[in-house]
């Protein structure tokens, strides 16, 4: 597939998906709707960042800011909804979580109102006007993915950032794992855009990246819950946080052990430098991973 057509196809798919997810979230900000919108916004953002490498137009920075503001506006709601989902999964094992669940449900109802306002605040027509102008420039050849900076450079820089975060990981400092997860997510979304142009990319490659990111997400979820438990216990001294804390500390240990075992896989997802070969050109085939 030619570079221009690759970008046009990626653009159209991400923009259409984003509009659908935004409309669904404006109608009902459920856990699934919020998650889908944030993922769609991040994937569109990855395209915008690659496009900005090819054509550093100020318009793309405005698009990026609008998407970032939308994503940030849903962060707190998303965290609460994830924790509620975990509570539903674990309530039988830890009955003491019932009181905490009521607390989170109240928070969710308050944040839902804020999230709906954030989704409606986005000026979709203005965003679409800027997006359309970017697409016209790409379609007309004013953005040159062949003669200009290569799209792979955007993936190289994102992977380098992820590797740097990995080098700085301290397993006893949750914030360092969180930084790695965010950097890896940006890398993953960028590689999703250009993967049809990658020679010999294994069929399971994107699924393996998704699974790697999910390992870090499991740690992040447990860390978020432990923080929440500490805050809730401070607000309500009569609440016995011991059983809940022990449960989520165990979950975190298991999630951390799984991540440590798979951590070396990070180096297999992209080339070490622009002048190096892709790692999958050197590794034997692996069994296909089912992308859950």
Cα gap 269→185, rounded to integer Å: 12
* The pLDDT of residue 148 is above 50: no
Q: Could you give the percent of the chain with pLDDT greater than 70?
A: 91
Residues 6 or more apart whose CB falls under 8 angstroms from that of 284 comprise none
The whole-model pTM stands at: 0.80
- Residue 55 to residues 109, 134, 147, 280, Cα–Cα distance (Å): 42, 9, 12, 30
pLDDT of 197-245, one tens digit each? 888 899 999 999 999 999 999 999 899 888 888 888 888 888 888 888 8
- φ/ψ bin of 28: left (φ > 0), alpha (ψ from -120 to 50), beta (otherwise): beta
C-beta separation of 122 from 66 below 8 A: yes
Cα gap 181→213, rounded to integer Å: 6
pLDDT of 103-124, one tens digit each? 888 888 888 888 777 777 888 8
Measuring CA to CA, which residue among 228, 150, 241 is closest to residue 190?
150
C-beta separation of 29 from 119 below 8 A: yes
Which stretch of 41-55, 169-183, 248-262 has the lowest confidence by average pLDDT? 41-55
Instruction: Give the residue extent of every domain in the chain.
Output: 1-148, 150-279
Which band of pLDDT confidence, cut at 50, 70 and 90, is reported for residue 147? very low
Cα gap 93→106, rounded to integer Å: 23
Measuring CA to CA, which residue among 161, 171, 262, 148 is closest to residue 215?
262
What mean pLDDT, rounded, does the chain reach?
Answer: 85
* The pLDDT of residue 152 is above 80: yes
* The pLDDT of residue 37 is above 70: yes
H-helix or E-strand containing 94? none
* The pLDDT of residue 291 is above 50: no
Give 46 or 28, the one with higher predicted confidence: 46
Cα gap 74→81, rounded to integer Å: 11
Burial class of 218 by CB neighbour count within 10 A (0 to 12, 13 to 18, 19+): middle
């Amino acid at each position: 597939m030619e570079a221009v057509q690759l970008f046009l196809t990626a653009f159209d798919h991400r923009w259409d998906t984003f509009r659908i997810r935004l409309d669904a979230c404006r109608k009902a900000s459920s856990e699934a709707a919020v998650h889908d919108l944030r993922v769609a916004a991040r994937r569109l953002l990855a395209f915008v960042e690659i496009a900005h490498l090819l054509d550093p137009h100020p318009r793309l920075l405005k698009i990026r800011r609008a998407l970032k503001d939308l994503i940030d506006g849903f962060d707190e709601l998303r965290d609460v909804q994830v924790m509620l989902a975990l509570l539903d999964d674990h309530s039988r094992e830890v009955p003491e979580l019932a009181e905490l669940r009521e607390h989170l449900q109240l928070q969710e109802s308050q944040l839902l109102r804020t999230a709906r306002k954030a989704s409606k605040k986005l000026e979709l027509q203005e965003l679409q006007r800027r997006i359309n102008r970017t697409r016209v420039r790409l379609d007309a050849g004013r953005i040159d993915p062949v003669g200009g900076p290569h799209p792979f450079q955007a993936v190289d820089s994102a992977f380098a950032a992820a590797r740097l975060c990995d080098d700085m990981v301290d397993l006893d400092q949750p914030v360092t794992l969180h930084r790695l997860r965010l950097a890896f997510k940006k890398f993953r979304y960028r590689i999703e855009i250009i993967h049809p142009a990658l020679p010999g990319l294994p069929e399971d490659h994107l699924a393996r990246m998704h699974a790697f990111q999910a390992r870090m997400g499991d740690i992040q979820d447990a860390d978020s819950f432990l923080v929440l438990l500490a805050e809730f216990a401070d607000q309500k001294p009569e609440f016995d946080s011991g059983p809940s804390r022990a449960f989520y500390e165990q979950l975190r240990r298991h999630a951390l052990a799984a991540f440590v075992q798979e951590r070396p896989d990070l180096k297999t997802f992209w080339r070490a430098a622009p002048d190096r070969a892709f790692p999958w050109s050197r590794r034997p085939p692996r069994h296909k991973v089912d992308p859950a």
